[in-house]
Amino acid sequence: MSSGLWQAGLKAWYGPATPWVRRIRSYRPDRRGRLVLRRWLRVAFSRTIALGAAAVVGGLLLTGREDALFVAAMPLALAAFCWRCSRIGIVLRPGEIVRYSVFHEVVVPAGAVRRLHRDSDRGNLVLETQAGEEVDFLWFDASLWDLLYDFSMVCQDAMWAHARQSRGEGHVPSSAALVRRFTWSPVGDLLALSAVACPVAGLIGRL
């Protein structure tokens, strides 16, 4: 993904032009050519809760209580869910727009994007493809980031600019269909597996 994305779509005013805000919204592709858009305040908050819950479990297990394995299941489940929530984001990669939710990802061929609009029933951002399929971006509207600058509009402009650029470069035909699939999270799934394994191990230990 070239610098044309920024020239095409990210010259709008998204907040006070202070050095700190400029640094926050100076999004650039990574080494693999991907642009990652996440609400980092939400990421930090979710992962702090997840790590705190995991620490509570460690403390419970160190106490040696008989019911520690049963009690640990709930904080482990909370940690697994919070870790998955921290993965919510939008990834723009060559020829594709990927939306990550808690359990699924939706891969939209950038060349197949018809429009981005907010005229849905809930008024949130929706991506519509040439085939009439829709992808909801409810998680990216009305957050604390928008008190600082309009991150929701940044996401919308970045996706639209990326779609225009990909269409112009002919990366993906407009007839390509989007793909929805379950996503694996090594950390989140390990925590979820532990939440199930702890009470099972407790029951086995009592037999």
What are the CB-based long-range contacts (under 8 Å, 24+) for 76-79? Answer: 76/191, 76/192, 76/194, 76/195, 76/198, 77/191, 77/192, 77/195, 78/49, 78/50, 78/53, 79/49, 79/50, 79/51, 79/53, 79/54, 79/191
Q: Residue 54: pLDDT band by 50, 70, 90 thresholds?
A: very high
**CA–CA distance, 118 with 101 (Å, rounded to integer):** 19
Q: What is the pLDDT of residues 154-178, one digit of tens each?
A: 788 888 888 888 777 665 566 678 8
Q: pTM for the complete prediction?
A: 0.80
Q: Residue 82: pLDDT band by 50, 70, 90 thresholds?
A: very high
* Per-domain boundaries in the chain: 1-33+88-183, 39-87+185-207
Mention every residue, 6+ apart, whose C-beta is less than 8 A from residue 101.
88, 139
Check: CB of residue 70 under 8 Å from CB of residue 188.
Answer: no
Residue with structure tokens 């509207």?
141
Tokens (6 digits) for 28: 């650039």
Beta pairing partners, 126:
117, 136
Number of neighbouring beta carbons within 10 Å of residue 193: 12
Tokens (6 digits) for 193: 């597996």
Q: What is the pLDDT of residues 127-143, one digit of tens each?
A: 999 888 889 888 877 66
Check: CB of residue 176 under 8 Å from CB of residue 111.
Answer: yes
**CA–CA distance, 125 with 200 (Å, rounded to integer):** 43
